[in-house]
Chains A and B, each alone.
Chain A
Amino acid sequence: MVLQCRSYSRLYTRCESKVKYTPLAKHPLKLANRVGSGGKGPSQAYCLQEMFNMFSCLKKNEFSQSPCSNEITTFQTCAEKHKAELKKLKEDERAGILTPGTTKLSANQVNLLLKRFPN
């Protein structure tokens, strides 16, 4: 039992007196001035309202497109607009361009800000 306690002292906290805290000089307990590139979470589906409008119109007219051309074009322009916006956002993120007033920042943008104002 004693032998076990000695060999596994760092793993099992039952022998509390044996576990020692040694701060490392190389990695001080302080946040670094950069963040890693984490994966993005799922963002919300876009143009849902336009799509539902289109579907309800199509269903009303037995899926003939000519009476619903207005709804279809609004949906398509919405999708294209969203796609263009996403592309621009991605390019800005990659280039590290900061737009004032944005709440969501990419890792590159956060790193850029942290470089300017290190703690």
Chain B
Amino acid sequence: MLNSFSNLIFKTLNPLSSAARSANVRCMSRYGPQFIDPVVDPQEQKKIRETGDLQTYLFRPIKSAPGNYTCSHYFDPEVAKFTNILMSGGRKALCRELMDKTFEQIKRNQIERFNKAETDEERNAIIFDPLIIFHKAIENTKPIMKLLKIKRGGQTYQVPYPITENEKRFRAIKWLIEAGNDKPNPIHFPQRMAIEFIDAANNKGSAVKRKTELHRQCEANRAYAHYRWA
């Protein structure tokens, strides 16, 4: 009796129950489906103000921004992601420091290269902005596909699959970090990472090599592609 009564109350008081299930919404989220994502980037905010989309945002409830996001001029979501993946044991302050040192080292390396360059062509080709190099490195190490193990008839096949944008980014960052960790011992992490970033931005280095190796494997296993489940 009590059970059915509480069930009735739940059904009448919870307007989300059926709608949430049908729309594939996370039922235990602390935000309902009416909440919209926050816009943290100042340039995006400016764009919204200019295009007049602000009216749609006016009376909608908005989720709170992630804790590590700021609207600072120096904030970059990709760098924030990189530091989060680099972090171990919750030592984020250390990781942020390491990233800053890495960017400084990138600039130092590039200036050194600039001074060593002999022709004007070489000098003009050198990029000094570490953020541009960082983004370029990640873009160059993103894989196009992934390999998944699938068991068919007692045998496991490596089947090439398409990959989502988030997964691509994660793979690229992970490979870059592993490549940076793989250098000989007396060099410090920022120095190793700087070399790795510059190499990857120029489509060289072990992280990019790892990506092409994966592509080679995918190409070799293309005959198994029809084992894919939709």
Contact = CB atoms under 8 A, between A and B. Distances in A.
A76 B23 contact: no
Given A75-B144, A75-B162, A76-B144, A52 B222 contact: yes
B229 A63 contact: no
A46 interface: yes
A59 B216 CA distance: 8
B219 A59 contact: yes
A55 B219 contact: yes
A46 B230 contact: yes
Contacts of A91: 22-24
B230 A45 contact: yes
B174 interface: no
Contact of A45 (B24, B215, B225): B225
Interface residues of B, number: 21
Interface in B122-164: 144-145, 160, 162
B46 interface: no
A28 B207 CA distance: 67
Contact of A63 (B216, B226, B230): B216
A43 interface: yes
A48 B22 contact: no
B141 to A, nearest CB: 11
B218 A55 contact: yes
B73 interface: no
Interface string A18-44: 000000000000000000000000111
B226 A45 contact: yes
A47 B162 contact: yes
Contacts of B227: 45
B215 A51 contact: no
B116 interface: no
A72 B144 contact: yes
Contacts of B23: 91
A48 B219 contact: no
Interface in B193-215: 203, 212, 215
Contact of B215 (A42, A52, A58, A90): A58
A103 B229 CA distance: 20
A74 B96 CA distance: 37
Contacts of B203: 64
B228 interface: yes
A82 B179 CA distance: 34
Given A48-B225, A94-B22, A95-B22, A43 B230 contact: yes
B216 A54 contact: no
Contact of A58 (B21, B22, B219, B228): B219
Contacts of B160: 51
Given A45-B226, A45-B227, A95-B22, A79 B162 contact: yes
- Please give me the 7 A-B residue pairs with the lowest Cβ-Cβ distance, nearest first: A79-B162, A45-B228, A43-B230, A95-B22, A63-B212, A55-B219, A45-B226
Interface of A: 42-48, 51-52, 54-55, 58-59, 63-65, 72, 75-76, 79, 82, 86-87, 90-91, 94-95
13 contacts: A42-B229, A42-B230, A43-B230, A45-B225, A46-B228, A51-B160, A51-B225, A52-B222, A59-B219, A63-B212, A75-B162, A76-B162, A94-B24
